[in-house]
Amino acid sequence: MNSNSNISSRSHAMQRSRDSRAAVSLAPPLDVPLPDDDCAAARAIRPPDIAAAVPRYYTPPPQPATSGKRKRSKAAPEILPATDTALHNIVTMTAGHAGVGSSVLAAMLSWELANRGLRCALVDVDFTSGCLDLLLGVEREPGLRFNEIEAPLGQIEGEALHYELTAWEGVRVLPYHPWDGQTPEWWEVQAALRALAQTNDVVIVDAGQGELVEAIPELRDAAQLMVVELSVLGLARAKAHRNRLAAWKCAAPDVVGIEPRGAPRGRGNVGIGEAEDYLAAAVLGPVRPSVTLCGDVLEGLGIRSVPKGSRKTVDSLADLVERAVHPRSRGRGNDAGRGRGLNGNGARESGGAWEDEGAWSDGR
Closest CA to 201 of 328, 338, 103: 328
- Which one is predicted more confidently, 285 or 84? 285
β-partners of residue 156 are none
Residue 328 has pLDDT above 60, yes or no: no
- pLDDT exceeds 80 at position 353: no
- Whole-angstrom distance, CA of residue 204 vs CA of residue 106: 7
Could you tell me how many residues make up the chain?
364
The span from the first CA to the last CA of the chain, in angstroms, equals: 113
Mean pLDDT in residue range 76-105:
75
Q: Of 358, 360, 91, 100, which is closest to residue 224 (Cα–Cα)?
A: 91
Rounded to 5°, angle at Cα 26 from 22 and 28: 145
- Residue 29 predicted with pLDDT over 90: no
Greater confidence (111 vs 65) lies with 111
User: Would you give the DSSP letter of residue 357?
Assistant: T
Across 312-334, average pLDDT: 71
pLDDT category at 245 given cuts 50, 70, 90 is very high
Between CA 281 and CA 283 the distance in angstroms is 6
Q: Which H or E run contains 287?
A: strand 283-287
Most confident of 27-36, 70-79, 235-244: 235-244
Of the listed ranges 98-107, 127-136, 353-362, the one predicted with least confidence: 353-362
Q: What is the pLDDT of residue 320?
A: 85
pLDDT tens track for 133-165? 999 999 989 999 998 888 888 889 999 999 999
Nearest-5° Cα angle at 172, 197 to 184: 70
11 vs 105: CA distance, rounded Å: 79
Q: CA 119 to CA 139: how far, in whole Å?
A: 22
- Would the pLDDT of 41 be above 70? no
This prediction's pTM:
0.70
Mean pLDDT of 9-23: 56
Longest Cα–Cα distance in the chain: 124
Instruction: Count Cα atoms within 13 angstroms, Cβ side, for 11.
Output: 6
Element housing 257 (H / E): strand 254-258
Using alpha carbons, select from 168, 215, 209 the residue that is nearest to residue 188. Answer: 215
Give the per-residue pLDDT at 163: 92
Stretch 244-265: mean pLDDT, rounded?
Answer: 91
- What is the pLDDT at residue 128? 87
**pLDDT top residue among 284 and 154:** 284
Rounded to whole angstroms, how far apart are CA atoms 287 and 228? 10
More confident residue, 71 or 164: 164
- Which of 128-132, 173-177, 194-198 has the weakest average pLDDT? 128-132
Contact 250, 134 (CB under 8 A): no
Q: Are 145 and 68 in contact (CB under 8 A)?
A: no
Q: What's the whole-number mean pLDDT along residues 249-266?
A: 89
Q: Which residue has the higher pLDDT, 351 or 203?
A: 203
Label residue 52 by pLDDT band (50, 70, 90).
Answer: very low
